[in-house]
Amino acid sequence: MLLQKKMTQSFIAAAIGVSASTVSRELKRNSNGKGVYSSHVATLKARRRKSRNPGNRSIVAGVRSRVFELIRSEQWSPEEVSGWLGKEEGMKVSKSTIYNCIASCSPHHKDNIRRHLRHGGRKGKASRKSGGCTIPNRISIDNRPVEADGQRIGDWEMDTIVGKDGKGAIVTLVERKSCYMLMEKLETGKQALPLAHAVVRLLREAGLPVRTITTDNGSEFAAHELIERELGTTVYFAHPYSSWEKGAIENMNGLIRQYIPKKTDFRGLSNTFIAHVMLKLNNRPRKKNQFNKPIDMVKKNFP
């Protein structure tokens, strides 16, 4: 309408709230051979261009098949799948596109892809862990050296997960930089001394540096001095109800729950299955490390 009134491009740009160069490009792109601009023709051309360049809104069958294969076989998140495919297999697909593909699948299909995801399509509920136990000779995280910031190999976080009705326990450890994890089922539950011996054995067998260990104030870590003495390290304790101070292990425990859901009876878990879960998670690409796998990072630094 403004063109028909012989208005300048700069006036039109100011009137519709865009730059003058935008108006210039619009006229150049959508005018006919005689230089006449038609809004109807412009709309048709825009639709044709959009159909030829669907961008990240669509996903070709081969890529979709590979995405679903990784989710089913490895239980990776859409973000991990997106990062790994882009880094290792040259397939460009965003996590949003993957989520949209999953959402378009019927939940009633016999092989529902949602059941292979960490949360199964459901939102998790926040929980609070008890942190009021008094542990003798504990050293606060306030005293942890500043260089133990997760930028070097050797700073660990430690925790436990418990089974159905609070019976049975698994001790978990994660190396903060590489996200390499260790875990072992504790036949004696959350007893402090057996747990300490298990931690010492796991870290010695891993053959990785142990510069620091950070954990919470659970009574199962009361034998922390044994760990310190045997491994020549220091165990630091987070503040009560401050799970973010040991975020690496909290996140790892969430990933473990993908394989060992809450209310699982740990008596039915074999050591072979525990080893299988540990292998799965150490072969899972991590976003914080540019989608490198923890096991590859460890082998690269400590072959």
Q: Average pLDDT for residues 22-47, to the nearest whole number? A: 84
Q: Average pLDDT for residues 210-236, to the nearest whole number? A: 95
pLDDT tens string 235-272? 999 998 888 999 999 999 999 999 999 999 998 899 99
pLDDT of residue 217: 92
pTM of the model: 0.67
Alpha-carbon span 116 to 258, nearest angstrom: 8
pLDDT of residue 131: 43
Alpha-carbon span 185 to 170, nearest angstrom: 4
Which neighbouring-strand residues pair with 292?
286
The two structure tokens encoding residue 101: 């593909």
pLDDT tens string 75-128? 899 999 999 999 998 888 888 888 888 887 777 766 788 888 877 655 445 454
Task: State the burial class of residue 6 (Cβ atoms within 10 Å of its Cβ: 0-12, 13-18, 19+).
Answer: exposed
Which neighbouring-strand residues pair with 158?
173
pLDDT tens string 63-72? 888 998 999 8
Average pLDDT over the chain reads 87
Alpha-carbon span 289 to 151, nearest angstrom: 11
Q: Which residues of 107-134 are buried (b: 16+ CB within 10 A; e: fewer)?
A: eeeeeebeebbeeeeeeeeeeeeeeeee
Instruction: Specify the higher pLDDT residue, 43 or 255.
Output: 255
Residue 229: pLDDT over 50: yes
The closest alpha carbon to 179, from 140, 153, 145, 204, belongs to: 153
Q: Identify the three-state secondary structure at position 42.
A: helix
Q: Which residues of 215-231 are buried (b: 16+ CB within 10 A; e: fewer)?
A: bbbbebbbbbebbbebb
Alpha-carbon span 165 to 65, nearest angstrom: 40
Which neighbouring-strand residues pair with 214?
157, 236
If pLDDT is split at 50, 70 and 90, which confidence band does 28 have?
confident
